[in-house]
Amino acid sequence: MAMLTVNNLHVYYGVIHALKGISFEVEKGEVIALIGANGAGKTTTLQTLTGLLSSKQGSVIFEGKDITKVPAHKIVEMGIAHVPEGRRVFSQLSVYDNLKMGAFTRKDKAEIEESLSIVYKRFPRLEERKNQRAGTLSGGEQQMLAMGRALMSRPRLIVMDEPSMGLSPIYVNEIFDIIEAVSKSGTTVLLVEQNAKKALSIADRAYVMETGKITMEGIAEDLLHNEAVRSAYLGE
């Protein structure tokens, strides 16, 4: 059975029908890319998974448990961390306190310290700036903080919403290297990206969304060479 099964999800914003029956699966250990144009419903999908939005119809099953109606603040404890679109770090808190917020639901003090050192190893820049307020970090550093913060919960599944948005090419490469490393260390990844080329190059499988529906799915490598995908999302 898949780690995450999303079945026929319908989500509305008032009268706007944003998700029109989305279904997909994520297997343990995979990197799944979810790509699509602006407004396709990618963020809506992730926010519904982690309880920030509620669905009118459909279900979300994670590790065999129905989490469709589980409130957002209980999701992280179940093993899913969400790196939100636009980073959303706590700008008034220090880098260190932001990372500690990532471990908010954990009680194991010694192991939290261990997670912290793992995060610092992965993002040395965060350690250098640990006492700085998060609001003073550059965009790329804030993205790293958002990812580090999510990793502090030791998730089994991490969902990321456009981690490369607005970053310079060097940062983009760094972020994608880190996503690969996170995946290698055993965390399953669900990645939403505008940068379809990059996302497809590190993903195992991918889903393509268009106006609230999944229109294509397959092995990432195949989609990378698919004519329709190339012309619509890779700008070729």
Partner 1 sequence: MSFLTYLKDGISLGSVYAIIALGYTMVYGIAKMLNFAHGDVIMVGAYVVLMLLTRAGVPGILAVVIAMAVCTILGITIEKVAYRPLRKASSPLAVLITAIGVSYLLQNIALLMFGADGKTFVDVIKLPSLSFGDGKLVISGTTIVTILACIIIMICLTLFVGKTKQGHAMQAVSEDKDAAQLMGVNVNGTISLTFAIGSALAAVAGVLLCSAYPIVTPYTGAMPGIKAFVAAVFGGIGSIPGAMIGGILLGVIEILSKAYISSQIADAIVFGVLIIVLLVKPSGLFGKNVQEKV
Ligand X SMILES: Nc1ncnc2c1ncn2[C@@H]1O[C@H](COP(=O)(O)OP(=O)(O)OP(=O)(O)O)[C@@H](O)[C@H]1O
- 104 scored as a contact of ligand X (CB under 6 A): no
Beta bridge partners of 188: 157
- 15 scored as a contact of ligand X (CB under 6 A): no
Positions 185 through 214 that interact with ligand X (CB under 6 A) = 194
Which positions ≥6 away from 156 have C-beta within 8 Å? 3, 28, 63, 79, 80, 187, 188
Tell me the C-alpha distance between 102 and 91, whole Å. Answer: 14
Closest CA to 24 of 69, 55, 58: 58
- 42 scored as a contact of ligand X (CB under 6 A): yes
Beta bridge partners of 214: 209
Quote the least distance from Cβ 50 to Mg ion, whole Å: 14
DSSP letters, 68-134, are TT--HHHHHHHTEEEE-TT----TTSBHHHHHHHHTTT---HHHHHHHHHHHHHH-HHHHHTTTSBG
- 85 scored as a contact of partner 1 (CB under 8 A): no
- 140 scored as a contact of partner 1 (CB under 8 A): no
Beta bridge partners of 57: 10
- From Mg ion, ligand X, partner 1, none, interface partner of 36 (C-beta below 5 to 8 A by class): ligand X
- 155 scored as a contact of ligand X (CB under 6 A): no
Give how many residues touch partner 1 by CB under 8 A. Answer: 32
Q: What is the DSSP letter of 143?
A: H
Quote the least distance from Cβ 193 to ligand X, whole Å: 9
Q: At what angle do helices 169-184 and 139-151 cross, to 10 degrees?
A: 10
- 38 scored as a contact of ligand X (CB under 6 A): yes
Range in contact with ligand X (rule: CB under 6 A) among 23-31, 35-43, 64-72, 199-207: 35-43
Identify the three-state secondary structure at position 8.
Answer: strand
Quote the least distance from Cβ 120 to ligand X, whole Å: 30
- 18 scored as a contact of ligand X (CB under 6 A): yes
- 102 scored as a contact of ligand X (CB under 6 A): no
Q: How many CB atoms lie within 10 A of CB 94?
A: 16
- 55 scored as a contact of Mg ion (CB under 5 A): no
- 40 scored as a contact of ligand X (CB under 6 A): yes
Indicate the residue whose CB is closest to Mg ion. Answer: 43
What is the binding site for partner 1 (CB under 8 A)? 50-52, 71-77, 81-82, 84, 86, 88-93, 97, 100-102, 104-105, 135, 139, 142, 149, 153, 166
